[in-house]
Amino acid sequence: MDNDNYDENSIVVLEGLEAVRKRPSMYVGSTGIGGVHQIIYEVIDNAIDEALAGYCTRIDVRIYKDGTVQVEDNGRGIPIGIHPQTKKSSLETVMTVLHAGGKFGSKGGYKISGGLHGVGVSCTNALSEYMSTESFINKIHYIQEYKEGKPLYDLKQLEDNTLNKNNGTIQTFKPDASIFQDTNIIARQILRRVKEQAYLTGDITFTFQDERSDKYQVPYFIYFEGGAKSYVRMLDKDKKNLTNIIHIKKHVSDSEVEVAMQYTDEITDNMLSFANNIFNQEGGTHLTGFKTALTKTINDYAKKTGILKENEEGLTGDDVREGLTAIISVKLQNPQFEGQTKMKLNNSETQTIVRNVVSEELEMYLQEYPKEARSILDKVFLAQKARKAAKAAREAVVRKGALEGGTLPGKLADCSEKDPQKSELFIVEGDSAGGSAKQGRDRKIQAILPLTGKPINSEKYRIDRVLENERLKDFTIALGAGISDTFNIDKLRYHKIIIMTDADVDGSHIETLLLTFLYRHLKPLIEKGYVYIAQPPLYKVVALGKTYWITDDNEAEVLFQKLKDEDTKITSMQRYKGLGEMNPEQLWETTMNPQSRVLKQINIEDIEDSDKTFDMLMGTEVPPRKKFIQMNAKSAKIDI
């Protein structure tokens, strides 16, 4: 066979930034919109590093109408001298060579930085169809431009500094549409990142401008005092707070630890961890150190005050974290992350440092403020009591689960396929729609679970109350993966969980209640991309013998205008009040057939915003929800 020849000609060497363009996901996580956002964050993070080093006081982020992004700072500017190793300008070296930057040594580089590998800005360059880098040093303006990561010319000095800029850097780039599947930058995501940095970096002014948006046509100024304390205040502004904000900030060796925390009456926690101002979505050693210190310190205080007897069961981590909002921010010289996207901090020594600092400072706080300490203990012991009830409820679900020897819910029509990757579970509203779905489905790969009535609002109740609801209990048992601390995603029976409700207000409400349950108690299913929303039609329109299935009123208006322009007469039109009105063949054709259906995948672009939205819309506090309704009432569409 020809392809058996494996010799020196089979070895391909990718030079320069070719490797990044060839395998972009290895460097920026994905080729979706998340990857586009990542290359923007890499440039912003470089400006932040200048701020952390004490040389930058202002950072401007702009998005132009054509999707070009610009990040400007007033730091020191990128050095322009000839680099001794590459024999090219230092600026070109930084922009075109992987693992090149001021974050490895100690000679005038960065002691504290979010970058580690020196691949960030060069990846941005590689994955942009165009990029220009401008460096201002002592009022002299230097520039170099690139196409797909390759320089268009050698670094040059401009005669006129028309911007009258003393020092700083301007990075301008356009994400490459031939690399990324979606380059439509989500402004609120970038603004969230900018605000995040403004909270964590004191005395820095940020501006954000988006020419594509009416709201941000004029630069939006962002400046916060108070660091992590201000961040917690913002996160908890619409919650009932049980304590004041506890603020800890301390230098240890070459590291700085800052923690701000506050207890609320919520039943979930919200902890965000950062290393050198980089958000670590999966936590890491700093978060582990914080959790360990929190659990031990509160247990020790409870025993010391006699509230918890020596022979009694201690408080668990879940108990002491219920209702807690916390920002854990560390700054260290040599951060070790998992991957270029920095999802998790790995420095082992950081765990010990954070644990010791939080233990010492929190113990002192509890002793100095006994009233606050009592509020915390009341909250955590209530959580302990609820945990014991919740444990019994979870274990009952597991005992009834199919994989633990029990039986599946009676109304579940299961599929014959046993491979989860090929199996789909449709959650259907009501027995009528369930009947049509069961008859119309592909029995090999599609399972149907009808839910009658509305599930409980999971945002307002702990897990024991939630699992008393038969609908959500059946749903959990059908999934087969357990829940909360019994959850095991390897036991999940379906990798497509499709919520299929009526295309009306009641259907949307049930959909929201199910998503709330999944977000609060089975979030890994959403994070893995296993949750979908079906798109059933609202109208069936027949014109000149051709059938059109329309999913909403906007689509209907477009079709009606198109038929009118073509002078095509509509012979019949039907509006479906529910899925039960469709016969099995129609339901299969429009909504269930994998070859022709449209599914909306549910994902979490922004954990912080998602958490606040669920809490505001579904939580116990009425004023934030009332305010939201008042602000959005005029733009709301009412289905009568």
Residues with catalytic annotation? 429, 502, 504, 506
Type of residue found at 352: T
Q: Is the dihedral of CA 609, 614, 619, 623 positive or negative?
A: positive
Q: By three-state DSSP, how is residue 444 classified?
A: coil
Strand order in the sheet with 324-331: 246-252, 255-263, 324-331, 270-275, 278-279
As a whole number of angstroms, the distance between CA 313 and CA 299 comes to 10
Interior CA angle at 90 toward 89 and 93, to 5°?
90
Nearest to 289 by CA among 363, 357, 232, 342: 357
Q: In sequence order, which ranges of 59-209 are alpha helices (DSSP H)?
A: 90-96, 120-126, 187-200
Whether 132 contacts 143, CB under 8 Å: yes
Residues 472 and 399: beta-carbon distance below 8 Å = no
Q: Name the phi and psi angles at 570, rounded to 5.
A: -80, 120
Q: In which residue are the tokens 């917690």 written?
A: 232
Rounded to 5 degrees, φ, ψ at 323 are 80, 5
The tokens for 447 are: 């399972």
Residue entry with tokens 């990561």: 149
Q: CB–CB of 113/103 below 8 Å?
A: yes
Nearest of 270, 269, 288 to residue 231 by alpha carbon: 270
390 backbone dihedrals φ, ψ, rounded to 5°: -70, -35
Identify each DSSP E strand in 114-183 by its residue range. 128-137, 140-147, 150-151, 156-158, 168-175
Number of CB atoms found within 10 A of residue 599's CB: 16
Instruction: Report the alpha-carbon distance of residue 142 to residue 140 in Å, rounded.
Output: 7
Residue 108 Ramachandran class (φ > 0 left, ψ -120 to 50 alpha, else beta) = left
Token code pair at residue 172: 């301008």
Q: Which residues pair with 145 in a beta bridge?
A: 132
How is residue 43 written in tokens? 């440039």
Question: By C-alpha distance, which of 478, 498, 477, 480 is closest to 488?
Answer: 480
Q: Give the ranges where 426-530 is alpha helix by DSSP (H).
A: 430-440, 463-466, 470-479, 505-521, 523-527
End-to-end CA distance of the chain: 68
| CA angle, residues 266, 270, 35, in degrees to nearest 5 | 140
Strand residue runs (E) in 245-387: 246-252, 255-263, 270-275, 278-279, 324-331
